[in-house]
Amino acid sequence: MVAHVTKDGLVIPRRLLRGIKRVELRRGKNRITLFPADQVDPIAGLGRKPVTCGVPDGSTQHDRHLYNGKA
């Protein structure tokens, strides 16, 4: 899709933004990227509700615990 930039900016068709209320714009080298700003990134929530498993070094030795000492 090609759109023309006017003196007022650029119009992005609503159908391309279905379900999105706000966007974050990031400008890079030869590129402008739109990110949905109203959606929560699930990666940002990792570690907020840690689980206790009875292993004191689980965060540092997780591979060893997962693979029965064969890390």
Instruction: Compute the half-sphere exposure of residue 56: CA atoms within 13 Å on the CB side of its CA.
Output: 0
Rounded CA separation 46/71 (Å): 23
Count how many domains the chain has: 1
Q: Which two tokens stand for residue 47?
A: 């570690």
**Domain range enclosing 49:** 1-53
- pLDDT the model gives residue 70: 58
pLDDT, tens only, 20-66? 889 999 999 999 999 888 777 788 888 787 777 777 787 787 787 78
70 belongs to a structural domain:
no
Q: Say what the pTM is.
A: 0.46
69 falls in which pLDDT band (50, 70, 90)? low
Q: Is 71 a residue whose pLDDT tops 60?
A: no
46 belongs to a structural domain:
yes
- pLDDT the model gives residue 41: 76
- pLDDT the model gives residue 7: 95
